[in-house]
Amino acid sequence: MQENLLELIILIPFASVAVQYFLHRVLPARLAGLIACGAVLVPFLLTVVVGRGIGSAAPQVPAVTATIASWLTGGGLEVAFGLRLDPLSCAWTLVVTGIGFLIHVYSLGYMHHDPGFKRFFIYMNLFIGSMLALVLGDSLPLLFLGWEGVGLCSYLLIGFWFEDMDNARAGQKAFVVNRIGDLGFLLAMLMIFQTFGTLDIATVTSSLSAGHAQGLYPLGDGRITLIALLLFVGACGKSAQLPLFVWLPDAMAGPTPVSALIHAATMVTAGIYMVARFSVFFALAPVASAVVAIVGALTAFVSATIALRQRDIKKVLAYSTCSQLGYMFLGLGVGAYGAAVFHVVTHAFFKALLFLGAGSVIHALSHEQNAMKMGGLKPHLPRTHWTFFVGCFALAGIFPFAGFFSKDKILGEALLGHGWLFPLVGVLGLITALMTAFYTFRLYRLVFTGPERLDDHARAHLHESPATMTLPLVILALLSIVGGALSLPAFAHFDLLGDYLRPIFASALAVAGEHAHHAVNVEVALMLVSLAVVIGGAWWAWNRFAEGPGDQLPLPQSGLPFLLENKWFVDEIYAIFVIGPMRGTALLAGFFDRYVIDGIVNGLARLCDLCGAFVRLLQNGAVHTYALLFLAGAVYLVCSLL
Amino acid sequence: MITVVDYYVVASILFAIGALGFLLRKNVLVMFMSVELMLNSANLVLVASAKSFDLARGSAFALVSVAVAAAEVGVGLAIIIALFRLKATVDAEEITNLRG
Amino acid sequence: MEVLERVAFYVMAVIAVASALLVVVNRNPVASAMSLVGTFLAVAGLYLTLNATFLSAIQVLVYAGAIMVLFLFVIMLLNLEREPFDLPGFGRIAGFALSVVLLFSLISLALNATARPETSARGGSGAEIGDVFFSDYLFPFEMASLLLLVAMVGVIVVARRRKPEEEEEGEA
Amino acid sequence: MSDTQVYYLAYLVKLLVVFTLAVGLVPILVYAERRVSALMQFRWGPNRVGPFGLLQPFADMVKLLCKEDLVPERASKVLFTIAPALTCIPPFLVMSFIPVAPSFALAGREMKGVVVDSPVGILLLLALSSLTVYGLAIGGWASNSKYSLLGGLRSSAQMISYELAMGVSVLAVLCVAGTLNLTEIVYRQTQFFGFDATSGNWAGWNVFAQPLAFVIFLIAAFAETNRLPFDLPEAESELVGGYHTEYSSMKFSLFFMGEYIGMVGISSVLVALFLGGWHFPGMHALGLQPGTLPFTILGLLVFLAKIGVLLFFFIHVRWTLPRFRYDQLMRIGWKVLLPLALLNVLVTGAVVAGS
């Protein structure tokens, strides 16, 4: 029963894609949209039903599994289309389908006038299906399949308005950058198969921890470290971490619901999911964990700095997403797996809320995205305004909004850790929190208060968004307010999410050693510190941008502002040091291909041509000749039978 | 006593005559008829052999082959008509170029 | 009775071979076609001597009744003349020689065969063939019907006289 | 004389009876045709030769035989000669498959009321009747005349087309009867209307079980015999005389005969397949013992009477209806009769399979 429901969870979105694809001519747009929404809502409800059944904490990781069909079989390899719903994937599935449903509903309004309405929902449902495959897949290949599937959908949706060359380019960029990460993932997968002889995730992790217990894989084992690092390369690509984060801001070229769903709430957290899924590997590889923590902290910091001066409302949120993802990796790196997952959930709430709110603003202003040309929208967009306001509080991490609890959990684990690394990344995170609060309220002030700086076209069509768009905003806002209750600080002894996930990370924590419980007053003190930092940042921005952008309006020509305005010149550096050499290599390879390889091929072709010229004499077109030869063959056969 | 071998001999002769007709005649239609002749001789062998095993089964085989022959003749004659319209001849030795 | 069987076999065999020869020798295509009808009828008779009654009826119905009428129809439609006689070239001489070799090799192959006892479990009546078709050979049976359908469509497409404007489109 | 010899002798007699029937009916038919047509047109018709002009057909025959036997120049002589014979042979052969009377016991054996009692009789019958077309086509072609050629082409096209509808309508009857043996099919009809209580199958005349098939077969029968309203192959007004334009004398009379024997043959098939063959309601009540010669002769007479009625119908239609146009003819054959017949088979098959 539960198995069948589990299968339904993943099959429904794909079935919906098939229905919409094959019936796209006859299906009315409205009905297609409703089908798409239903195809996300039903899996959500099913997940709730099935997920309730796995809550029991047994020594084994509680899970529901189902095998749809056998897939790859050959040699020692046996991979099935198997699904596995355990606490971790259940959490993710709920986020994906829950937030996904809200965003689908929102899209009904947002994409209402778009000629590609039906296409949009096909892609969206395909994305949901792929994401579920990624999360629910019980084997690495299926995970990889979903991984690539969401990548494809991301590409399709970034370039949704592909008539515009820039959008199409952004899609390509996302795709190519992701490939680099995927290569890492693929290599990791091969190494895992070589090491463990299976690709079943549960088997791999359990055999690793069992092997460690038997002394087979000591702490810091080279092979395990390498696998963990390669996995992290893949996660970097998908989750936009430091060297590979350049695609995410460009991905904002897609429709805003896409940004909310894929590039903030769900797909980009796939990297987190993967690292969390293989937490045992990272626990056994301190070096890899350190790399994760450092990269996460640096990404959080650098992205936040860039977000400080962005003018595009969506770009600010995009860099903020990178930054928050950095937090999550920081958490994973310092061993705060539960806290990282918690942050994924709350971040999904408030970042989806912020993106959708931004979308509502953009929608209202007839696709104006430049925050410098907004201002004073508060009275015009009341519902959008207060939900966005809530989102800002949550993102900035102000008590008692959701972001506060999750962020604080990560920072607490980092700052209170031992050794030189943990406090270092913790401090970086604290500075980032300051900047986060600053740019969040800068954005709020620029958009909703101060003098109106709209151009005439935007002002003419100014209107509050329809209910299909504001209703999801309200729901997400409520979630952003109360979401923190899922996992209160340790001293409150109320940790719903943490308890739920405990069996998943039990083995990893057993390897790394359970974190010591800190004294209540230390934790409270830390909280107060971070709250003070955050409120300080918010206050600073609140005052500074009370009257619009002020001195930020003219483009800076030098100094740090110049660097930040141009995003640390990362794209340009890539152009010179990565793309340039590649172009040269490609040119060389092209030359080789055209003259050497083609020369050989053409030579062979000419040889065949020559042979053909001789054989052609035999084909004179007269049936009788052929018949004669044919009969000669027949006679030969008959005679040879004699 | 008439045995299978006698039928084989008759079928062989018919087959050889069919082959002869196909090779010697220039008229596409007559060539086609020769092909039918060969097909018939093959059927004869089939049915005669089936007597030693399962006549119903052999007849069923032959029946399918008759159906195939019917389809083949239909298509073949249609092609010959189209060819005649194009070239105004049914002489196989004049029809040597695929290009119309 | 056995004498009758022998006589029937020889009469049919001789008619079959003789009219087959006439098919090849006749220079008039209609006469060839009529001779072929004779061959088919004789082969149907041979089927009767083999007890394949159903097949024999089908042979007459399909070959003599339908296929050869179609041949005749086409010959008339094209209004073919007698084929002029011309001297045999290399190809024809070779073809003749090959056919003779084929004849002798086939006959010797046939004579090499040993006659097995005629122990067919089932006869060739319609009911028994129906049994075979609707049990073991249902799929080939359906495929044959599909083939006929496809052939029918194909014939209509190929033999249809195209309208002048379509002709131009085709060439363009 | 041994029993076996008696049996074979009776067999020969049977053969002769059937064939004389076929041939003997021809002059009667010719006479009837002319008298009936005259009646319908308020004329006298032939009434000079013999009493009521009864000897007219024989006078006609003498006339035809005395005519000069012309063979057109550059015609293909062999084919020209065998064509009339080819039209006559198939109807004769068809007659030999018709069970014209019930069987009777003779010399301790059962003597069937049919010349050839084949297990696939109806198939062979259809196969042989389809050979008629060769006579017409060859006759038309061998005459080396455009009228004849067109007549021959038309006839072959027409007969192929209507054979389909005819064959498919017979299929439905076979579904009801469950056998290919004609004797068996007739025996299944030895009740005027109703079911056989023991087998639960239809046991009455097939015309009631298969009215649609009957109508289709009847229409196709007109086309197969080239009778009006389907006599396009020999349409006088368009093609002079169609395939027999160039024929005269005995060859012409063979064509002529072939048409009439064809009518007799197709009527016999109709009677055997649909109208109960030799059976007539109440004939068992006359007190004659089934299986004896008198009963057989009674059956034969019933059969003849039925043929007579059908033949009268043929003649009546000829002098009542105008001729179809060629495209109408083809349309009716392919687009009306064939689909109807197929539908009929489908429905019949479903009903038979269901019961």
The secondary structure of A85-128 as a DSSP string is: E-HHHHHHHHHHHHHHHHHHHHHHHHTTT-TTHHHHHHHHHHHH
User: Residues B43-64: what's their mean pLDDT?
Assistant: 90
Q: CA Rg, chain B, in Å?
A: 17
Buried b (16+ CB within 10 A) or exposed e, D303-334: bbebbeebbeebbeebeeeebbeeeebbebbe
Peptide bond into A141 cis (omega under 30): no
Chains B and D touch (3+ CB pairs under 8 A): no
To the nearest 10°, report the CA torsion of C107, C110, C111, C113.
160
- In this structure, which amino acid lies at residue B20? L
8 Å CB contact between D132 and D91: yes
Q: Please say if the pLDDT value at position D230 is more than 90.
A: no
Kind and range of the H or E element at A82?
Answer: strand A77-85
Separation CA D229–CA B20 (nearest Å): 47
Domain ends where: C82, C115, C146?
C82
CA atoms within 13 A on the CB side of A355: 31
Contact B96 A622 (CB under 8 A): yes
User: Residues A393-414: what's their mean pLDDT?
Assistant: 87
Helices D77-95 and D249-274: crossing angle in degrees, nearest 10, is: 30
Asked if residue C122 is part of any domain, the answer here is no
How many residues are present in chain A? Answer: 642
Q: Give the closest of C29, C102, C137 to B16, CB-based.
A: C102
Contact A621 B97 (CB under 8 A): yes
To the nearest 10°, report the CA torsion of A389, A325, A6, A54.
-90
Lowest mean pLDDT among D229-243, D264-278, D315-329: D229-243
SS3 C83: coil
Instruction: Report the pLDDT value the prediction gives residue A513, as an integer from 0 to 100.
Output: 64
Domain ends where: C56, C82, C108?
C82
Beta-bridged to residue D223, according to DSSP, are none
8 Å CB contact between D302 and D296: no
- Which chains are within 8 Å of D by 3+ CB pairs? C
Whether chain C has a CB inside 8 Å of the CB on A632: the answer is yes
A326-340: per-residue pLDDT in tens? 999 999 988 888 889
User: Residues A198-220: what's their mean pLDDT?
Assistant: 86
Q: Give the closest of D82, D123, D137 to C57, CB-based.
A: D123
How many residues are present in chain B? Answer: 100
SS3 A85: strand
Domain ends where: C82, C100, C119?
C82
Its sign, for the CA torsion C76, C77, C83, C88, is negative
Asked if residue C77 is part of any domain, the answer here is yes
User: Residues A246-256: what's their mean pLDDT?
Assistant: 86
A71 to chain C, minimum CA–CA distance in Å? Answer: 30
Asked if residue C144 is part of any domain, the answer here is yes
Residue D75, C-beta contacts closer than 8 angstroms, at least 6 positions apart: D142, D143, D144, D246
The interface residues of chain C toward chain D in range 75-94, judged by CB-CB distance below 8 A, are 75-77, 79
What confidence tier does A477 reach under pLDDT thresholds 50, 70, 90? very high
Host domain of residue C144: 137-172
Residues of chain D found within 8 Å of residue C75, distances taken between Cβ atoms = 141
- The domain locations on chain A are 589-641
- Of A359, A382, A365, nearest to A455 by C-alpha is A365
Residues of chain D found within 8 Å of residue C77, distances taken between Cβ atoms = 153
Separation CA C139–CA C149 (nearest Å): 15
- Which chains are within 8 Å of C by 3+ CB pairs? A, B, D
Contact C69 D138 (CB under 8 A): no
Q: Give the closest of B12, B14, B47 to C55, CB-based.
A: B47
Separation CA C81–CA C85 (nearest Å): 12
User: Residues A480-508: what's their mean pLDDT?
Assistant: 82
**C66-to-C71, C160, C168, D130, D160 alpha-carbon distances in Å:** 9, 20, 35, 8, 7
Lowest mean pLDDT among A484-493, B45-54, C34-43: A484-493
Measured in whole angstroms, how far is the alpha carbon of residue A356 from the centre of its chain?
17
Kind and range of the H or E element at A617?
Answer: none
Measured in whole angstroms, how far is the alpha carbon of residue A125 from the centre of its chain?
16
8 Å CB contact between D130 and D110: no
What confidence tier does C17 reach under pLDDT thresholds 50, 70, 90? very high
Chains A and B touch (3+ CB pairs under 8 A): yes
End-to-end CA distance of chain C: 69
Q: What DSSP string runs through C102-164?
A: HHHHHHHHHHHSPPPP---SS---HHHHHHHHHHTTHHHHHHHHHHHHHHHHHHHHHHSPPPH
> What percent of chain A has pLDDT above 90?
29
Whether chain A has a CB inside 8 Å of the CB on B95: the answer is yes
Contact C122 B72 (CB under 8 A): no
Residue D231, C-beta contacts closer than 8 angstroms, at least 6 positions apart: D323
C22 to chain A, minimum CA–CA distance in Å? Answer: 21
8 Å CB contact between C15 and C38: yes
Q: Classify burial at C144, counting beta carbons within 10 Å of its beta carbon; exposed 0-12, middle 13-18, buried 19 or more.
A: buried
Contact A623 B92 (CB under 8 A): yes
Separation CA B63–CA C63 (nearest Å): 11
Contact B70 C16 (CB under 8 A): no
To the nearest 10°, report the CA torsion of B43, B45, B46, B48.
120
Contact D156 C37 (CB under 8 A): no
Report helix, strand and coil shares of chain C as percent, to nearest 5. Answer: 80, 0, 20
Measured in whole angstroms, how far is the alpha carbon of residue C74 from the centre of its chain?
17
Instruction: Report the pLDDT value the prediction gives residue C19, as an integer from 0 to 100.
Output: 94
- In this structure, which amino acid lies at residue A414? A
End-to-end CA distance of chain B: 56
- Of A358, A445, A351, nearest to A406 by C-alpha is A351
Q: Please say if the pLDDT value at position C60 is more than 60.
A: yes
Residues of chain D found within 8 Å of residue C53, distances taken between Cβ atoms = 118-120
pTM over 0.80: no
Q: Classify burial at A78, counting beta carbons within 10 Å of its beta carbon; exposed 0-12, middle 13-18, buried 19 or more.
A: middle
Asked if residue C107 is part of any domain, the answer here is no
Whether chain A has a CB inside 8 Å of the CB on C100: the answer is no
- Using alpha carbons only, give the angle A71, A74, A75 rounded to the nearest 5 degrees: 145
Q: In this structure, what CATH number is given to the domain that contains residue C62? A: 1.20.120.1200
Contact A635 C109 (CB under 8 A): no
Residues C2 and C76 in one domain: yes
List phi, psi (to 5°) of D202.
-65, 130
8 Å CB contact between C64 and D127: yes
Residue D262, C-beta contacts closer than 8 angstroms, at least 6 positions apart: D87, D90, D91, D132, D224, D225
Lowest mean pLDDT among A74-78, D220-224, D316-320: A74-78
Arithmetic mean of pLDDT over chain A: 86
Separation CA A281–CA A508 (nearest Å): 8
Separation CA A224–CA D81 (nearest Å): 100
Q: Which of C26, C118, C138, C142 to mutate to test the interface with B (most CBs of B within 10 A)?
A: C118
What confidence tier does D82 reach under pLDDT thresholds 50, 70, 90? confident
Contact A635 C108 (CB under 8 A): no
Q: Please say if the pLDDT value at position C167 is more than 60.
A: no
Asked if residue C116 is part of any domain, the answer here is no
Place of tokens 């350190």: A290
Contact B96 A620 (CB under 8 A): yes
Kind and range of the H or E element at A14?
Answer: helix A2-22
Q: Please say if the pLDDT value at position C172 is more than 50.
A: no
Whether chain B has a CB inside 8 Å of the CB on A639: the answer is no
Separation CA A324–CA A429 (nearest Å): 10
D150-208: per-residue pLDDT in tens? 888 888 788 888 888 999 999 999 888 888 888 888 888 887 777 777 766 777 888 88
User: Residues A94-104: what's their mean pLDDT?
Assistant: 92
Asked if residue C72 is part of any domain, the answer here is yes
What confidence tier does A517 reach under pLDDT thresholds 50, 70, 90? low
Q: What DSSP string runs through A407-422?
A: HHHHHHHHHTSSTTHH
Q: Give the closest of C91, C99, C105 to A639, CB-based.
A: C105
- Of D314, D335, D331, nearest to D263 by C-alpha is D314
Separation CA D267–CA D271 (nearest Å): 6
The total number of structural domains in chain C stands at 2
Domains of chain B: 4-87 (1.10.287.3510)
Q: What is the largest CA-CA distance in chain D?
A: 66
A–C interface: beta-carbon pairs under 8 A: 30
Residues of chain A found within 8 Å of residue C102, distances taken between Cβ atoms = 631, 634-635, 638
Measured in whole angstroms, how far is the alpha carbon of residue A492 from the centre of its chain?
32
Separation CA D227–CA D315 (nearest Å): 9
Contact B92 A622 (CB under 8 A): yes
Q: Please say if the pLDDT value at position A635 is more than 50.
A: yes
Q: CA Rg, chain C, in Å?
A: 21
Buried b (16+ CB within 10 A) or exposed e, D183-194: bbbbbbbbbeee
How many residues are present in chain C? Answer: 172
A277-307: per-residue pLDDT in tens? 998 899 888 889 899 999 999 999 999 998 8
Q: Which residue of B has its CA nearest to C2?
A: B1
Q: Give the closest of C98, C102, C109 to A642, CB-based.
A: C109
**A137-to-A341, D157, D309 alpha-carbon distances in Å:** 18, 67, 82
Residue A559, C-beta contacts closer than 8 angstroms, at least 6 positions apart: none
To the nearest 10°, report the CA torsion of A292, A294, A297, A302.
-110
B28 to chain C, minimum CA–CA distance in Å? Answer: 10
- Of A100, A114, A81, A111, nearest to A153 by C-alpha is A100
Residues of chain C found within 8 Å of residue B78, distances taken between Cβ atoms = 154-156, 158-159
